[in-house]
Amino acid sequence: MAEMFARRMGTVHRSFIREILKVTANPEIISFAGGLPNPELFPVAAMGKAAHEVFSNIGASALQYSTTEGDAGLRAIIARRYRENRGLVVDPDSILITTGSQQILDIVAKVFIDQGDKVVIERPGYLGAIQAFSLFEPEFVTVSLEPDGPNLDELEAAFRDGAKCFYSVPNFQNPSGVSYSLAKRKGVAELLDRYDVLFIEDDPYGELRFMGEDLPSIYSFCNKPGILCGSFSKIAAPGFRIGWLVAGQAAYDKLVIAKQAADLHTSTVAQAIMRRYLETNDIESHVALIRERYGYQRGVMVEMIRQYFPSCVTIIEPEGGMFLWATMPEGFSSMDLFDVAIKDKVAFVPGRPFYVDGTGENTMRLNFSNSDEARIEAGIKRLGKSIEAFLE
Residue numbers at the binding site for ligand PMP (CB under 6 A): 35, 100-102, 126, 128, 169, 174, 202, 204, 231, 233, 238, 243
What is the closest distance, in whole angstroms, from the C-beta atom of residue 99 to ligand PMP in the complex? 8
How far is residue 75's CA from residue 247's CA, in Å, rounded to a whole number? 13
The total number of residues written for the chain in this structure: 392
Residue (204 or 320) nearer to ligand PMP, CB: 204
Residue (101 or 131) nearer to ligand PMP, CB: 101
How far is residue 384's CA from residue 392's CA, in Å, rounded to a whole number? 13
How far is residue 240's CA from residue 220's CA, in Å, rounded to a whole number? 28
Taking a C-beta distance cutoff of 8 angstroms, is the pair 42, 164 a contact? no
What is the closest distance, in whole angstroms, from the C-beta atom of residue 206 to ligand PMP in the complex? 11
Residue (233 or 267) nearer to ligand PMP, CB: 233
Residue 50's alpha-carbon distances to 40, 41, 61, 373, in angstroms, are 18, 17, 15, 32
What is the closest distance, in whole angstroms, from the C-beta atom of residue 56 to ligand PMP in the complex? 28
3-state secondary structure 20-79: HHHHCCCCCCEECCCCCCCHHHCCHHHHHHHHHHHHHHCHHHHHCCCCCCCCHHHHHHHH
Taking a C-beta distance cutoff of 8 angstroms, is the pair 231, 243 a contact? yes
What is the closest distance, in whole angstroms, from the C-beta atom of residue 25 to ligand PMP in the complex? 18
Residue nearest to ligand PMP according to CB distances in the complex: 100
How far is residue 242's CA from residue 321's CA, in Å, rounded to a whole number? 19
Residue 256's nearest CA partner among 120, 41, 75, 87 is 75
Residue (233 or 369) nearer to ligand PMP, CB: 233
What is the closest distance, in whole angstroms, from the C-beta atom of residue 46 to ligand PMP in the complex? 19
What is the closest distance, in whole angstroms, from the C-beta atom of residue 230 to ligand PMP in the complex? 8
Residue (174 or 386) nearer to ligand PMP, CB: 174
Residue (21 or 58) nearer to ligand PMP, CB: 21
Return the number of other C-beta atoms located less than 10 Å from residue 190's C-beta: 15
What is the closest distance, in whole angstroms, from the C-beta atom of residue 202 to ligand PMP in the complex? 5
What is the closest distance, in whole angstroms, from the C-beta atom of residue 224 to ligand PMP in the complex? 22
How far is residue 135's CA from residue 337's CA, in Å, rounded to a whole number? 30
Return the number of other C-beta atoms located less than 10 Å from residue 294's C-beta: 26
Give the amino acid at 104.
I
What is the closest distance, in whole angstroms, from the C-beta atom of residue 321 to ligand PMP in the complex? 9
Taking a C-beta distance cutoff of 8 angstroms, is the pair 192, 224 a contact? yes
What is the closest distance, in whole angstroms, from the C-beta atom of residue 128 to ligand PMP in the complex? 5
Residue (129 or 189) nearer to ligand PMP, CB: 129
Beta pairing class for 314-316 and 323-327: antiparallel
Residue (131 or 386) nearer to ligand PMP, CB: 131
363: part of which helix (H) or strand (E)? strand 363-367
Question: Within 13 Å, how many C-alpha atoms sit on residue 359's CB side?
Answer: 10
Residue (351 or 384) nearer to ligand PMP, CB: 351
Cis, peptide link before residue 216, omega less than 30° from 0: no
DSSP state of 272: H
Residue (102 or 217) nearer to ligand PMP, CB: 102
